Amino acid sequence: MKITFYGHSTFEIDFNGTKLLFDPFFTGNPLHSNFDTNQLNAKWILVSHGHGDHVSDVEDIAKNNGAKLISNYEVVNWFEKKGVTGHPLNHGGKYTFDFGRVKYVNAIHTSSMPDGANGGNPGGFVVWDDDSCFYFAGDTGLTLDMKLIPMTCPKLDFAILPIGDNFTMGYEDAAIAAEFIECDTIIGCHYDTFGYIKIDKSKAIEAFKKKNKNLILPSIGESINI
């Protein structure tokens, strides 16, 4: 799988030939505002919750790429009123798409839309097919519910976890989350974008190393293969 980090919580994952874009936030990202989203070629956009730093470019990219949205019922409903096509999920539910299975799992956070409308309850995604499986946690604190993922989904190849603290778990709790989900390869996100979430990256990597976990922190625009 080719994973490209676009800053904050925005990732494009080439999932065995299908491009999945997660939480697109270019407009308003002080670290990555000049990116031309026309170069993206996403088939699906997966959105964890309604906050502006996760949805600011959903409408434009969906329309330019002809991409469909996957999110919770309220987020999908809000974007459908703007002409975006979507597939609604809710917590604990999974659905088999043409590229694989997606399960919407719990996140401990809030979820309002940029205009203040109800954004449902926030979540994360576990995505898999016969060969690969990964977890995109969205914005969340550490929660025991994460232990349900290895009980109900295939073995994770990697997981994308927030590590920036303040609005989500910090890296110390995220290292515990890596144990809960029984995953050794973690890509960190949701850090350094704003003042509240600036971190010491070497300390974060060390916190994971103490638990024999590998924390990968790609630079913005960098692609890695897992």
Task: Write out the residues near Ni ion by the rule CB under 5 A.
Answer: 51, 139
Number of H helices, E strands in the chain: 6, 14
Using CA atoms in the order 109, 114, 117, 118, what is the torsion angle rounded to 10 degrees? Answer: -20
With CB under 5 A as the contact rule, which of the stretches 69-77, 81-89, 100-108, 131-139 interacts with Mn ion?
131-139
Binding partner of residue 213 among Mn ion, Ni ion, none, CB cut-off 5 to 8 Å per kind: none
Strand order across the 44-46 sheet: 86-89, 68-72, 44-46, 18-22, 11-15, 2-5, 223-225
CB of 117 to Ni ion, least distance (A): 15
CB of 121 to Ni ion, least distance (A): 12
**192 interacts with Mn ion by CB under 5 A:** no
CB of 14 to Ni ion, least distance (A): 25
**139 interacts with Mn ion by CB under 5 A:** yes
Q: How many residues bind Mn ion (CB under 5 A)?
A: 2
Nearer Cβ to Mn ion, position 69 or 133?
69
Q: Which residues pair with 101 in a beta bridge?
A: 96, 128
CB of 190 to Mn ion, least distance (A): 6
Three-state SS for 187? strand
Do the beta carbons of residue 124 and residue 140 sit within 8 Å? Answer: yes
- Binding residues (CB under 5 A) for Mn ion: these are 53, 139
